[in-house]
Structure formats: structure tokens, C-alpha cells
Structure 1
């Protein structure tokens, strides 16, 4: 089952959702600003993405700039920051089994189909 971690207010996330709808395959939508990640689930997702936690952070987001920018953070602290401030999480994230990508640009979804 394909899963998209989605934010309705984000145009790129809406594009990713539209892309999946046009595939005519079943998929699940997780509104991650409402259904918050816990630390373990987010850590597992980052491992699937094959990236460092900081690569999932929206570093231009107001919460990052005001609370975290310019300081040294461990991976654990960065993950916890995203758990505490889910707007920091880059989107959309699309998962298919053991594969996951940040769907920017949207066409990257093809990489995990």
C-alpha cells in the first residue's frame, strides 16, 4: 500500500496527492499535522528515506528559524524537533513498502512504484 504524508496547505503536497489519484492505485493519506509522528515512527521513516534527519527539515520554516537555526543539534534532537513542530517536516513524503521519497518534484514518485 502506498502512503502519502500530506499537508493540505502545501501546493507541492497537493500536487503529489493529485499524482497518486491519477495512478488509479489504492493509497492512504496521512495528514501528519493532525496525526502527529512519534519519535520512533519518524526515525523509521527517515531510515526508509535514506537521509540524515536535517535533510527532512524545512529550514526556512519560521519555527526552525526562531527555535533552532544556528545551533548545533544531534540527529536525535533534530528528530525530536520535528516531532514537536511537525510543520518542520518536508513534504510530501510518499512511501511504498520499504521505499520512501520526498516527492519534490512530484515525478519522483515514479522512483518507488
Structure 2
């Protein structure tokens, strides 16, 4: 396997650590992006969503305090959700792994193995 798998990672998250470990154990070349330190741009998020085949709201972590205080119960447009994710990257579900034109959410972590096919 020569194509690098990019993982949007939060080191404090056990699912994210587990997904990286599974890929490393299989010898996959990784590019780990700590997205809370280096958040994706709006364009990068839009591209990720296209690869995932999901709307922005589908990758929102609804257990986060900022979601509960600022977004819960609101009916936001796709553009509004993208703006929210850019402004508050803690809301982005993790991990997200990308290889080429495919992406998966690593919940459970074993989902990332689909990128090895």
C-alpha cells in the first residue's frame, strides 16, 4: 500500500487512538492531523463531507457542551453547519480517515480498515 491515509485525530479520544493503532499495525502509511490544533478549512470540510457522502450535521458531536449551549434544537442550513464546524472544531466527529476519494468515520475504529481494500 503506497497511498497515505490521512487521519483527522484527537489524541485524547480512545476511538481515534484505536483507529490509528489499527492502521499502523497493518503497515498503512499515515498522515495524522491533530485537527484541534490544525483545524480543517471550510473547503477541506466540504471535501471531507463529499468523500464521506454525508451532510455536515451528520458529523456533529452532539454531546459536546458547545453543541448543547449554542446549537441544540436549531434547524441550521448546510452552510450554517459548515460555519459552526469551522468555528468550533471540537464539534467534528472523530476520527475521520481519508484515502484518495474515500473517507470513513472511525466509529467503531474498525471502520478505518475499509480504506485498506
TM-score normalized with structure 2 length: 0.93
- The reply to whether residue 85 of structure 1 matches residue 111 of structure 2 is no
- The reply to whether residue 102 of structure 1 matches residue 105 of structure 2 is yes
- Tell me how far apart the structure 2 counterparts of residues 60 and 49 of structure 1 sit (CA, whole Å): 21
| Candidates 60, 63, 67, aligned match of 2:66 | 63
2:75 aligned partner: 72
2:38 aligned partner: 35
4+ residue runs of structure 1 moved beyond 2 angstroms? none
- Tell me how far apart the structure 2 counterparts of residues 32 and 80 of structure 1 sit (CA, whole Å): 16
- Tell me how far apart the structure 2 counterparts of residues 58 and 112 of structure 1 sit (CA, whole Å): 23
- Tell me how far apart the structure 1 counterparts of residues 59 and 70 of structure 2 sit (CA, whole Å): 16
Please list every run of 5 or more consecutive structure 2 residues that lacks an aligned counterpart in the other structure: none
- Tell me how far apart the structure 2 counterparts of residues 111 and 20 of structure 1 sit (CA, whole Å): 10
**Aligned residue pairs, count:** 113
- Tell me how far apart the structure 2 counterparts of residues 55 and 71 of structure 1 sit (CA, whole Å): 14
TM-score normalized with structure 1 length: 0.96
- Tell me how far apart the structure 1 counterparts of residues 106 and 9 of structure 2 sit (CA, whole Å): 11
1:26 aligned partner: 29
- Tell me how far apart the structure 1 counterparts of residues 58 and 28 of structure 2 sit (CA, whole Å): 29
- Tell me how far apart the structure 2 counterparts of residues 17 and 27 of structure 1 sit (CA, whole Å): 8
